[in-house]
Each structure stands twice: as C-alpha cells, then as structure tokens.
Structure 1
Amino acid sequence: MKNQYLFIDFDSTNYKRRILWKIIGLVCLFLLVALSGFWIGEEQIEANMGEKHLSPSLDHPFGTDWLGRDMFFRTLLGLHLSWKVGLFAAVISTVIALTLSLLSSINKFFDSLVTMLIDLFLSIPHLVALILIAFVLGGGVKGIVIGIAFTHWPSLTRVLRAEILQIKSSEYVHISKKLGKSRMWIIRHHYLPQLAPQLFVGFILLFPHAILHESAITFLGFGLSPEQPAIGIILSEAMKYLTMGMWWLVVFPGLSLFGMVVIFDALGNNLRKLLNPN
C-alpha cells in the first residue's frame, strides 16, 4: 500500500511536469510574438486611407482600422509594449518584496512596520491606488511602471515574510549565529537560497497582473499616451467603431492580451504546484 501511494505521487509529479513543459512552450511562443515588436517599423503601421475598414483577410489577418493601419502589426506592437511594462514593473515589485521581507527579519520593530505596510496597501484596491500614483506621476511608461511596482508587492512580501519566519527558527540558522556568522552571511547562505523558488514563482505570477492592470488603466485613459500602440489604447479607440460592425478591432487585440495573461498565470500556478505539492 505504501509503494502504491509512492507510485501515485510520482505519476502525479510527472503529469505536472508534462503540463508545465507544454505551458512553457506556449510562453516561449508568446515571448517570440511579443519580442517581434523590435523588428516592426513605422511603415508597417502607417495610415493608408485606401485600405481602411477592411475585415480580416490573408493580406491583413487582423483587418485594418479606420485609418487603414494593419491591426496585426499594431497588436504585435501593443503586446511588445505590454510585455516590457509588465517585465519592468514585476522586477521592481519583486525587489521591493524581497527587501521588505528581509527587513522584517531584523527585529520585532521592523517586522511590525512591514506588517503594517502590507495591511495598509492590501486594504486599498489595486486599481484605485494605481490610478492615483500614475496620475500624480503624469502617466506614461514611467508612471505606469512605478504605479504597478508600488501596488503589487504586498502579497509576495507576505509570502516571503512567512518563509523567513520559518527559516529563522531553523536549527542551522541558530548554529550559524552561535558560530559568529554575520547577518549578511546568514542572508546570503540561508535566506536567499530558501527564498529563491518562492521569489521566482512570485515574479512569474506578478507579471500577468502587471500586464492586465497596465492595459486596464490605459483603457480608462490614465496610462500610456494615445500615440503609443498599447493594447489598452487600441481597445479604447475601437469601442466607438464596435457598433459599426468592426468587431475585429476589439476581438483580436483582446484575445491576444487575454491569451498572454492566462498563459503566464498558468505558468506561475503550475510552477508553484510543482515546487510545493502540499
């Protein structure tokens, strides 16, 4: 019976790994699509009034808009821009979470301070705080990145803080302290190796949220400027033409954004299940 349970656990782990590899393949595909924005020139998204309002075809897979611009290339540029904003924001937010969680390990005062900050930011809706920060900073890429980074760290910080509390009570940490090891040595050799899996999974899970919130506030008019081909701008501009039957202006950019968010979210969740089956 014991061997049977072990066999089931092993088979379940292999199944999770197969699912994970399939998701990684889709992630690589989306990354290639997003990175293709580096090679798209202005001539590929320039206005052409002779080809406006064209429905999807072989020449224009996503159709054209009211100015005759190719929606396929505009969508690729929008995904590329969302990918860059999400990446920078997720990296900064992850660094903030790591810094605060390590700060909470110093003593009870800093732990209480970090806990208070976590509760404070979690009590404010992400979108409201993000809009306020982006508005104060004048919008644009800088305002969006800083706004997302400063509103998405609390959940990851709470997870890392709980992990550090467990590590602090470990016997090997007490032995290192008795041997006279410095705090930085303990952080470098004990805390960071243990926190690395949680940190990586947390970053992967922050990434799709950053992309989605960037598109949301850009759609509402508080984010990127209208001159930039962001997905939020594309969807916002297309809403007035939706009643005219130009469904492709909304469907293809929206599905592309949704697909990127879902795939990266699935990657983070499956990584978390694989690293922590319990």
Structure 2
Amino acid sequence: MKATTEPGAGTAVHKPGVLGRWNRRQRALLSAGAAVGLLLLVWLGAGLMDSAQLNSRLELRNLAPSVEHPFGTDWLGRDMLTRTLKGLTLSLKVGLAAGAASVIIATLLGLVAATMGRTVDRIIIWLIDLFLSVPHLVTLILIAFVLGGGAKGVIVGVALTHWPSLSRLIRTEVLQLRSAEFVQVSRHLGRSRLWIGTRHILPHLVPQLLVGLVLIIPHAILHEAAVTFVGMGLSPHEPAIGIILSESMRYLSTGMWWLALFPGLCLLVVVRCFDRLGDNLRVLIDPKRAHE
C-alpha cells in the first residue's frame, strides 16, 4: 500500500474541506442564502400560525416551555411562540417601511448635495453632521412622542434619523461619478443631465442603495423595539417584540424566564441575519472582490 505521507514528511497530507475549496464570493452567496432562508422561515411561520393562539386562555397560563408550547405561555395563557413570530413579522414590516423611507431621503439629499452647488452642499453637510451628533434613540423618541407614537410615529422617526450616513456615502459616490471619463464623454456629446443621471449615475448607485437598505433595517427593528419598550412606539394591543419584552419584565422575578429569553433571542437572530446579509451583499456586488 502507498503511504499517505509525502516523501520526507512526517505528517499526513490533509485535503481541504468543501468550504475550504470555495472562494470568498461563493461563501458569501451561501451565507446570504442561509440568512434569506431563515428570514423567510420566520415570515412564513408567522403566517401559518393560528391567530387564535393570541387569545386569552386562563387555563393554560404560566406554562413552561413544552412540546405543545415550545416557548411556553404567558400570564393570560397566550402561546409565546405565536406572539413572538407575529411580533417579529410586525417588526420586519416596520423596519422595511422605515428603511425604504430613509433610503429615499438619503438618496435625494445625497444627489442634491453633489449636484446643486457649494452652498447647498454645505447646508446638507451641516444637516448630516447635526443629525450624527445627536443619539438616534433620543431623536427617535422625541419624534415619536410629537407624532403620538404608533406605527406612523416609529416609521417617521426611524426614517428621519437613519439617513445621514448613507446620504454622505451617496454624495461621495456621485462626486466621483461626475468626474468619471464616461460621464464627461456623454456631457461633451450633448447629453442632458437627466439622461446622464438615469443612464450613468443611478445604475451605479443601485448596489449602494440596496446594501444601505439591508443594513438600515436591523437598526430600524432594534430602535422600533426600544421605543416600543419604553411605551412610545406601537400599541400595547399589538404583538410587537417591544411590547412582549416590556410586559415580561414584570414576571421575571416570579421565575417566568421564557417570557423574555425566547423573544429576545429571536430578535437577536433576525437582526444578525440582516447584518450578515448586508455584509455578504457588499462582497457580492463589489467588483474589486470579483476574483477573491
């Protein structure tokens, strides 16, 4: 039999595993697919859950986690798995709406700052620095309080506090594209600003906007949960994660640990999925990493 070691070597040759033979883009694609699959599983799971499990059933109250109720039940006999999945779906909807609005604001202000002259640019840069100097959560709570709370207050608050970083990135990208050779050629050929903007600049911004949206959503979800937790967000009658965590604080001292543990872990997993998805999308769309 042939030896499994190289001549003169004292150790065996180890072949790389399956993942070791994949390049970085392939691993990023696999990780992004897993994150999307997990998020879809949460969304579909919430849709398949019977809403009747949200009704009060006092004979089932304060049950610890079991096969029938994996996340246990609360003090009113409501199934915590159903409440958690419904709450995560509600948080996803709020996060998507707030993130999309924030991306639109960032895109408009970034384009205006890069194309409307130095005076407008200085004003927008001052606004960006102003919003970045104030903690997001404080501003969000103030905006939600002024608007009377609820989903509208949270969405508007998140949209008005999460645009500065992306807006600065878009401004820098547009300034670089304006001096690009293909843009200068189109300008010398008599193309209008609208034609150049829609054919040259906007397509280059779409990947940045997509990554920005995916990375804003987890911040929006966490801030929505935080604002709801302190009573300035969604209605207490809705199965929001912030409401679930806020209510569970009153029962932790009685030993009902499952009321906060499982919803908190699920929220962390969803936020982490969006974070990983954004990082992997950045790897996939970056042309500089095409051969990694």
2: distance between equivalents of 1:55 and 1:190? 59
The RMSD of aligned alpha carbons is 1.7
1:47 & 1:144 partners in 2: Cα distance? 28
Instruction: Please say if 1:71 is aligned against 2:85.
Output: no
State how 1:1-278 maps to structure 2 within 5 Å.
14-106=23-115, 107-276=117-286
3-state SS of 1:217 partner: helix
Higher-helix-fraction structure: 1
Greater displacement, 106-115 / 133-142: 106-115
Q: Give the gaps of 5 or more residues in structure 1.
A: 1-10
SS in 2 for 1:53: coil
1:118-154 CA distance string (max 9 Å, x none): 1111111100000000000000000000100110000
Shift of 1:31: 2.4
Q: CA deviation at 1:13?
A: 7.9
| Percentage identity across paired residues of the two chains | 54
For the residues of structure 1 that align with 2:31 and 2:180, how far apart are their CA atoms? 37
Deviation, 1:16, is: 3.7
CA drift of 1:105 comes to 2.4
Deviation, 1:79, is: 0.4
Q: Distance in 2 between matches of 1:41 and 1:164?
A: 49
TM (norm. structure 2) is 0.87
Cα distance in 1, alignment partners of residues 193 and 31 from structure 2:
41
Distance in structure 2 (CA, Å) of the matches to 1:61 and 1:221:
28
The alignment's TM-score, normalised by the length of structure 1, stands at 0.92
Q: Is the 8 A contact 1:13 1:274 kept in 2?
A: no
Q: Is the 8 A contact 1:36 1:80 kept in 2?
A: no
* Alignment gaps of 5+ in structure 2: 1-19
Deviates further, 137-146 or 101-110: 101-110
Q: Which residue pairs with 2:3 in the alignment? A: none
Give the number of equivalent residue pairs: 268
Which amino acid counterpart does residue 67 of structure 2 have in structure 1? L
> Residue 199 and residue 13 in structure 1: after superposition, are their counterparts in 2 closer, same or farther (change >3 A)?
farther
Bigger Cα Rg: 2
Mapped to 2, the partners of 1:262 and 1:42 lie a distance apart of 27
